Amino acid sequence: MLDNSVILLTGGTGSLGKEFIKILLSYYRPEKIIVYSRDELKQHEMSQSFKSPIINYRLGDVRDRDRLNQVMRGVDYVIHAAALKHIPPGEIQPMEYIQTNVYGAHNIINAAIENQVKKVIAISTDKAVNPINLYGATKLTADKLFIAANNISTRMTQFSIVRYGNVIGSRGSVIPFFQKIIREGATELPITDRRMTRFWIELHESVEFILKSLGKMQGGEIFIPKIPSMKITDLAAALAPELPHKIIGIRPGEKLHELLCTKEHSYLTLEFSDCYIIKPPFDLCPPVDFSCNGIGETGIPVPDGFEYSSDQNTQWLTQEQLLKAIQYWVDANKTAVSLSRTERPYLNLRKIPTS
């Protein structure tokens, strides 16, 4: 499916974008990969690591609809990862988040429809579920926009969402923060609340899941991977078992536990072998049977009142698994982009549909 195609990555100079490009170059033969972002320094640095001639760097902001229209000409698939993501700044600068996360999503939708893009996947977050902070509220709004876009695109362009939790290997997670203060000689680790839990997914797993969802999507779904949870105290103990914890209290807009599926949406939720999907709350035209996805896999409705939360999860990440995942990420970053499939054993992408 991705061979001989043109793929646009918004926010492409972030952790996700870099891993995405590594996998695309190793497993597929796209005609062109467009990295779209507003930071020319990050684009320059990225161009020094990725020497492939099929990568095109384009400066621009998702707030700029005209620029998006330009760069989306001839594009087949869009992975929309650009967003403002940190919770505290959004609480005091809400319009900046609304401009990027909401209006930017609207611009992506319009440009994709106007340019007859085949498929768009927008990257969401657990913060969008029952949001209590501005960031989460903007991502929930963006999710609603993308799902509703399937009813205005005449189905020529399909829009779906991928939603998951915290990413091991992402610069924005608590892991690099803890690692930094440990290196600097911290005598204790700050913990917001001993009860706190979070969903976790490895960076390469998130890219695998996005690619699988791209092949499975029919437009209108929210794809949610089955991933483990971990207590924040266990995470801190894994990184620095000798350091005590200092309880500092929950930050503004922060939750004790995270949700990926709510009981209010249980009537729309289907369970597949490796994921859940939430169907759109309205009928599409033409109708879609979401119980059978785009590659023929079948799902079943979840029980009434089902909820997928980080504290009630049946999968839990051990300290040993966390440390192994972090080492995986470190080793992956050291691996040259040019390595072949057989030389990159830390990836397991054989199940990704390619047609």
pLDDT tens, residue by residue, 293-324: 999 999 999 999 999 999 999 999 999 999 99
**Within-domain flag for 250:** no
Q: How far apart are CA 274 and CA 227, in angstroms?
A: 9
**Within-domain flag for 299:** yes
* Residue ranges making up the domain that contains 164: 6-168+201-226+261-311
**Within-domain flag for 83:** yes
Residue 258's alpha-carbon distances to 164, 171, 234, 303, in angstroms, are 10, 19, 16, 20
Residue 285: is it exposed, middle or buried by C-beta count within 10 angstroms (0-12/13-18/19+)?
A: exposed
Q: CATH code at 59?
A: 3.40.50.720
**Within-domain flag for 208:** yes
Does residue 346 register a pLDDT over 50?
Answer: no
Question: What are the tens digits of pLDDT across the range 17-57?
Answer: 999 999 999 999 999 999 999 999 999 999 998 989 999 99
Does residue 352 register a pLDDT over 70?
Answer: no
Question: What are the tens digits of pLDDT across the range 238-285?
Answer: 999 999 999 999 877 789 999 999 999 999 999 999 999 999 999 988
Does residue 157 register a pLDDT over 80?
Answer: yes
Supply the pLDDT for residue 334.
Answer: 64
**Within-domain flag for 319:** no
Confidence of residue 338 (pLDDT cuts 50, 70, 90): very low
- Average confidence (pLDDT) over 191-201: 95
**Within-domain flag for 143:** yes
Confidence of residue 153 (pLDDT cuts 50, 70, 90): confident
Q: How far apart are CA 139 and CA 168, in angstroms?
A: 21
Q: How many domains does the chain have?
A: 1
Whether residue 144 lies in the annotated active site = no
**Within-domain flag for 238:** no
Residue from 127, 139, 226, 231 carrying the catalytic annotation: 127
- Average confidence (pLDDT) over 190-194: 94
Q: What is the pTM of this model?
A: 0.91
Whose tokens are 């620095």? That residue is: 240
**Within-domain flag for 333:** no
Which uninterrupted H or E stretch holds 51?
A: none
More confident residue, 85 or 173: 85
